[in-house]
Amino acid sequence: MHEAQAIIERVRRVSPTLQRLDVAVDRRQAEIAPGQLLLARTTDSYDPYLRIPWVPVAREQGTVVIERPAYQSYTPGQIVSLLGPVGKAIPLPETIRALLLIAYQAAPTALLMLANAALARGGGVALALIGSAAYYPVETLPTEIEVIRAHDDLEWAERDRMLGWAEQVVAVAPAGFDLPAYTRLMDHIQRLRVEPADGYAYGLFHPPMPCGVGACQACLIHLRGGHEAAACTDGPAFDLKGVRLDGA
């Protein structure tokens, strides 16, 4: 696993609740792809013991843009230790032109690089913000993204139309909410499509990652057929057809 020092070059408040950090990183980390993350240590001590997941929302010529809560304190010139890139890129085949992103109970941060990649190739992107995700400050998003807000996925009026429109679906939910949310998502998809194609629906899994290299087995995801895979090396995105969901 690659560890390197990085420098926070700029700190920008982008909404009352969020700030974005422009972080100068080395060449390898500058190649980070949608879905991958960095594990950050911002102090010289081991408090907190676990590194903090930093998920880029954009990358530009040697810089990655990291979104963090506004109440946290960062200063330009601050040096941080970054481990990664952790995990694999979210697959986005060239043929995909209609991408539905869904954030359940969490900021859609981990989906934004993928949204930009799809927009850059001329695709359409819709973003559903479900539950507490609906409070995400949408003024920070590209205007081309169609944003849908809903209190929960049962009351989401546009759901079936959007699932019918989408050629690929990628969802994110925090640990603890992920399996129930993805189970309901696959129920909705199977009601509309009976048997979705492989690679149609991905879910991102972000359990705590103590090592980030597949060594500690703290981030194992249970797959169908009795298999397991580490979110830090085989994920964080998994084809939901292959995941052992609740009740599966």
50 binds ligand FES (CB under 6 A): no
Instruction: For the CB of residue 213, give the shortest distance to ligand FES in the complex, in Å.
Output: 6
Is the link from the previous residue into 207 a cis peptide, with omega within 30 of 0? no
Please tell me whether residue 93 adopts helix, strand or coil conformation: coil
219 binds ligand FES (CB under 6 A): yes
229 binds ligand FES (CB under 6 A): no
Stretch touching ligand FES by CB under 6 A, among 60-68, 97-105, 147-155, 209-217: 209-217
Give the one residue of 212, 221, 229, 240 binding ligand FES; rule: CB under 6 A: 212
How many residues are recorded in the chain? 248
Yes or no: say if 106 and 177 are a contact pair by the CB < 8 Å rule: yes
- Alpha-helical segments (H) within the chain: 27-30, 112-120, 159-165, 178-193, 231-234
218 binds ligand FES (CB under 6 A): yes
Instruction: For the CB of residue 110, give the shortest distance to ligand FES in the complex, in Å.
Output: 16
Pick 39 or 185: Cβ nearer ligand FES:
39
Q: Which amino acid is at 182?
A: Y
Q: What is the b/e burial string over 10-22, where b = at least 16 CB atoms within 10 angstroms of the residue's CB?
A: ebeeeeeebbbbb
223 binds ligand FES (CB under 6 A): no
Residues 128-167 binding ligand FES (CB under 6 A) are none
Instruction: For the CB of residue 53, give the shortest distance to ligand FES in the complex, in Å.
Output: 11
70 binds ligand FES (CB under 6 A): no
Pick 163 or 232: Cβ nearer ligand FES:
232
Please tell me whether residue 207 adopts helix, strand or coil conformation: coil
52 binds ligand FES (CB under 6 A): no
Give the one residue of 66, 102, 211, 245 binding ligand FES; rule: CB under 6 A: 211
Q: What are the Cα distances from residue 149, in Å, to 35, 59, 142, 156, 168? A: 22, 27, 16, 8, 19
Q: What are phi and psi of 193, to 5 degrees?
A: -115, 0
Query: In the complex, which residues of this chain contact ligand FES (CB under 6 A)?
Result: 209-212, 214-219, 230, 232
